[in-house]
Chains A and B, each alone.
Chain A
Amino acid sequence: MKKLWMTTAVLLLISLLVACGDSESSSGTEGEDVPKELTYASTSDAKGLSPIDTNDSVSSNVIVQVYETLFSLNPETMEPEPLLAESYETPDENTWVITLKEGISFHDGTPFNAEAVKYTFEQMKDPDRAAPRASLLEPIDTIEVEDEYTVVLTTKEPYGPMLAALSHSNASIVSPTADQEGDINREPVGTGPFVFENWEEGDQVVLTKNEDYWRDPAQLDKVTFKVVPEYSTAISMLETGDVQFLDAIPSDHISRVESLSNVEVDKQEGTRVSYLTFNVEKEPFNELEFRQAVAYAVDQESYVNQLNGLGSYNESIIGPKVFGYEEEATEYGYDYDPDKATEIIEANGYSDESITMLVANRDNYMKMAEIVQSQLSNVGLDVEIETMEWGAFLDTARAGDYEMTFLGWANSTADGSELLYPNLHSDNIGGSNYTRYNNDEFNQLVEESRITVDQNVRKEKLQEANILAIQDVPWVVMEHGVVTAAYDESVSGLSVDPTGQWSLYPVTRE
């Protein structure tokens, strides 16, 4: 018996020694030749790699490296600027004449031209294709090819956010040949700085440098999008150098990431807004007094303080990084005032009824719910929490089977019209207007912000609509998001824009 023990112990020791003997430390990135390769980790896999057929942020992280849009948002100003387009004109409010850059080819050799634009947009609008983000281009009525490099878009009504919509990654231009002959959702073909190499579903997507890119080729030779479902594992991989880049750091993990010596952390104000909302078709949520009482009762600072700097509070529904924001709007909000809240609640007899908050068990919604529950009970409201898994939650909330809930909106076009219209305009009740908010004056203002092409007039309309909604409280803003990136010290040129998107084109390692 003793012998057996000894043998096992010796064997174990030997195998351990062997194991550490040839383990090379991968974290030592200082030194001469850092490979021009980068691995990014995300907690879930892409749903697809075609801009027409997907509508989620993980997929678009890959899509923006492979495909390009006609316009792109300047990350500083958040104004659309030409990318694949050369210039544009609007001879009248319903016509957009877009001149394209010449001499650009897709990765499969198909030339990029007006036909490709027409093909892409028509696919996007085709009901049979059921593009999940078809609504982006819905206002476009006809798409005409004027000549090889000129495309003319007409709308039935003026469409103000046109350029913001054309900058959205889901409006990226695809190779018509590749789409007709293959499946671009699995083998994407665009004009971008990186070419698709392979996709092992559930594991990783690999892209390589596009040597024939129309600008200077990218500096990285190879980029890998790795699926690491557990965020803490991803941080360990960042620490050991298996991964060089992470984004969307959860607030619970930020202090660990910041403590790593080989890692830089970048934090910036983002476009995302998270809010508490009501089903305003139900009593007493249809009463302004009740909603005001809740707005007075909620102290967002105590919630934001728990986010370790990964969120900020501002009364405005349209956030500081979204088109249509004016600081003045914040003066119209309801500051934290529990006494006032108690007063309103007692005067209206709201304390008699019990309220249920429907909460999805993801993101920070549970954290928000617990804090708000205790704050509301402080002012005399009886609130219960009902948690639900995301899929079940979406169905329940969409059907209006709830009283109060928490939701968020990424604002991926960074345009206020694209926030207010889907979420609070009565056209979308039963769809994305979960609040079921229906206010004629508000509807009118949002419509005007959409059908006006003059950006200054649009801004005024959005400001008016924003103030109206802040005062009428269909939403109680909980936080405006902060976008984050953590990357190995060998990485440079990486920046995340306020919508949370990033391009690997300017990135290098040294």
Chain B
Amino acid sequence: MISFIIRRMGQLVLLLLGISFIVFMSMHIAPGDPATIIGGPTAKESDLEAIREDLGLNKPVFVQYVDYLKGILQGDFGYSYQNSQPVGEAIATRLPNTIKLAVSSMIVAIIIGLIAGMISAMKQNSWLDVTSTTFALVGVSIPNFWLGAMLILVFAVNLQWLPVSGLSEPFYTMDGMKQLVLPSITLGTASAAIIARMSRSSMLEVVKSDYIRTAKAKGVKHKTVIWVHALRNALIPVITVVGINFGALLGGTIITEQVFAINGIGRLMIDAIAARDFPMVQATVLLVASIFVIINLIVDIIYVKVDPRISYE
């Protein structure tokens, strides 16, 4: 197990190196010069030259890349082209918001998804099943920004139960929790729907397997069969979906952060791309990629815990 983790971490480093190279080069190849954006439409060629000189954009791209890597090794991710804030500091202030949002959305998704999926599997073809599969279909199809805007209109503007925007309060306070409700539902709905579908089909499959029939034949109580014998085996594919979705959630935060005015990594990244803020784009992409890889690693480890038949030795 330990050697497996070490091996995977080694792969992570190589992967990040590859990602950093691709992102660095694609940002430089893509049209749009940071100097023109900083200078604005009024800038003269001489002004732009001065800005390029200032940012080191005049050097050959490979030299810039090597300089960048050297910086990273010393823990220096550079400065934002937009407001000269250190990149590390910008990320540090925003990452907690994104993590708060992603984790709470995942919790919403798992609770709703698992409950809905289990119920539909237990009561296959009943009205509960129909309701829950319809919810799953609608949940996957609804665009994030629309759902967010509607939730704001209903719960924040008309009913005034919850705040319109922000995520500034600590999550363990009442205000903090209230701030989390709408964004988490907005971001978590699609994942909840996917988890519901996955757990339903996985559960249906397991329920039909031999050992469940044996358990039932032995006279084990229905509840025990479901919650002890079936659920654990049905969970494996669900965990995969949760893992992949958690990574996707981190990317999906962009729109939710936009709608709810949350100061997070997604917005930081999108603003940086629009402004060709190279150091900021690099760092945020690397961060999201690392989180994605680490989550996958954690999922692999959980497999072993849930299903003892799986081993990486």
Contacts and interface: CB of A to CB of B under 8 A. Distances in A.
A240 B156 contact: yes
A431 B40 CA distance: 10
Interface stretch (B67-75, B254-262, B299-307): B254-262
B163 A132 contact: no
Contact of A47 (B36, B83, B268): B83
Contact of B164 (A4, A240, A407): A240
B153 interface: yes
Contacts of A440: none
B66 to A, nearest CB: 25
Interface in B88-134: 90, 93-94, 115, 119, 122
A431 B45 contact: yes
Interface stretch (A221-229, A285-293, A442-450): A221-229
B44 A389 contact: no
Interface stretch (A85-93, A195-203, A244-252): A195-203
A23 B43 contact: no
Nearest to B50: A130
Contacts of A47: 38, 82-83
B258 A230 contact: yes
A23 B46 CA distance: 56
A109 B224 CA distance: 76
Given A20-B159, A230-B259, A391-B37, A237 B93 contact: no
B160 interface: yes
Given A390-B274, A394-B36, A240 B160 contact: yes
A8 interface: yes
Given A133-B42, A239-B157, A392-B32, A23 B274 contact: no
Contacts of B28: none
Nearest to B165: A233
A499 to B, nearest CB: 14
B94 A202 contact: yes
A398 B42 CA distance: 11
B178 interface: yes
A228 B168 contact: no
Interface string B34-56: 00111111111111001101100
Interface in A1-31: 1, 4, 8, 16, 19-20, 22-23, 25-27
B54 to A, nearest CB: 5
A239 B32 CA distance: 38
B202 to A, nearest CB: 18
A50 to B, nearest CB: 10
Contacts of B31: 388, 391-392, 395-396
B225 to A, nearest CB: 13
Contact of A1 (B40, B83, B122, B261): B122
Interface string B161-183: 11111001000001000100100
Given A1-B122, A16-B161, A236-B156, A428 B259 contact: no
Contacts of A8: 115
B39 A132 contact: yes
B162 A23 contact: yes
A203 B168 contact: yes
A394 B161 contact: no
Interface in A427-479: 428, 430-432, 434
B26 interface: no
Contacts, number: 154
Contact of A130 (B32, B33, B54, B159): B54
A26 B163 CA distance: 10
A236 B150 CA distance: 11
Contacts of B149: 230, 232-233
Which bucket holds chain B's interface residue count? Answer: 35 or more
A127 interface: yes
Interface string B277-305: 00000000000000000000000000000
Contact of A56 (B40, B94, B122, B261): B40
B228 interface: no
Contacts of A428: 44
Contacts of B20: none
Contacts of A23: 160-162, 178
B192 interface: no
Nearest to B39: A132
B267 interface: yes
A103 B269 CA distance: 46
A422 B42 CA distance: 7
A185 interface: yes
A105 to B, nearest CB: 27
Contacts of A45: 83, 271
Nearest to A235: B157
A438 B300 CA distance: 66
Contacts of A338: none
Q: Which 3 A-B pairs have the closest CB atoms?
A: A391-B32, A130-B50, A392-B31
15 contacts: A23-B161, A47-B82, A132-B39, A132-B47, A201-B83, A202-B90, A203-B168, A233-B149, A233-B165, A236-B157, A239-B157, A242-B163, A390-B274, A391-B33, A432-B42
Given A230-B258, A239-B157, A394-B32, 20 more contacts: A19-B161, A22-B174, A27-B160, A46-B83, A48-B83, A55-B42, A127-B50, A133-B42, A186-B83, A200-B93, A233-B260, A234-B261, A236-B152, A240-B160, A389-B32, A389-B274, A391-B37, A392-B31, A394-B33, A394-B37
